[in-house]
């Protein structure tokens, strides 16, 4: 059974609201504290998913506290020592774009938490989304959404 924290639930709820009404979330974002560079709950990046496993064609794989790498102020977990070593050798090659926040939200000018199952690898880079609906919208114009997200990033962190 998947457990979800109150913060994660609230964040994902807000992400869903944001997809429906970006102006509402953008207005509320101004009142919130600055977001960290990496999406990490409890200090664990990208919900504890193994970032390297996405590139191995395995999709989201839960990492382990036994195999970790500290990078950019967050702890990244991996399913194996080999994956941890790959990440440690070149974290920029494996870390998701936009700090692991929702790539579609970044294209719209705000941050939202992500769901490990809502992912895309495009031109050798990993992109995560808040939910499967956000991923669907993201996929309608990946190059355009990347350009918009890059124009907004990192200013949207607050």
Q: What is the pLDDT of residues 16-53, one digit of tens each?
A: 544 443 433 333 343 356 889 999 999 999 999 999 99
- Identify which of 119, 152, 148 has the alpha carbon closest to the alpha carbon of residue 49: 119
- Answer yes or no: are the C-beta atoms of 12 and 131 closer than 8 Å: yes
pLDDT value for 71: 98
The reply to whether 82 falls in a domain is yes
The reply to whether 53 falls in a domain is yes
Burial of residue 143 (number of CB atoms within 10 Å: 0-12, 13-18, 19+): exposed
pTM: 0.81
List the domain range (segments joined by +) for residue 47.
6-157
The reply to whether 47 falls in a domain is yes
d(CA 47, CA 113): 9
* pLDDT band at 158; cut points 50, 70, 90: confident
The reply to whether 1 falls in a domain is no
- Summarize the confidence of residues 65-73 as an average pLDDT: 97
Concatenating the DSSP letter of every residue in 71-85 gives ETTEEEEESSHHHHH
How many domains in the chain? 1
The reply to whether 144 falls in a domain is yes
Residue that is written with structure tokens 């992109």 in the block: 127
Which residues does 158 contact at the CB level (< 8 Å), separation at least 6?
A: 29, 32, 33, 34, 35
Instruction: With H, G, I as helix, E, B as strand and everything else as coil, classify residue 130.
Output: coil
pLDDT value for 32: 52
């Amino acid at each position: 059974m998947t457990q979800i924290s109150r913060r994660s639930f609230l964040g994902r709820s807000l992400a869903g609201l944001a997809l429906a009404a970006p102006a509402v979330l953008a207005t509320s974002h101004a009142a919130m504290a600055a977001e960290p560079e990496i999406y990490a709950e409890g200090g664990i990046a990208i919900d504890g998913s193994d970032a390297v496993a996405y590139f191995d064609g395995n999709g989201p794989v839960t990492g382990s506290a036994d195999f970790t790498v500290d990078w950019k102020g967050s702890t990244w977990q991996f399913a194996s020592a080999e994956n941890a070593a790959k990440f440690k050798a070149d974290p920029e090659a494996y870390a998701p774009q936009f700090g692991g926040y929702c790539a579609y939200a970044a294209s719209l000018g705000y941050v939202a938490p992500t769901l490990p199952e809502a992912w895309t690898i495009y031109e050798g880079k990993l992109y995560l989304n808040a939910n499967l609906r956000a991923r669907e919208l993201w996929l309608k114009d990946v190059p355009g959404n990347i350009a918009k997200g890059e124009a907004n990033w990192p200013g949207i962190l607050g």
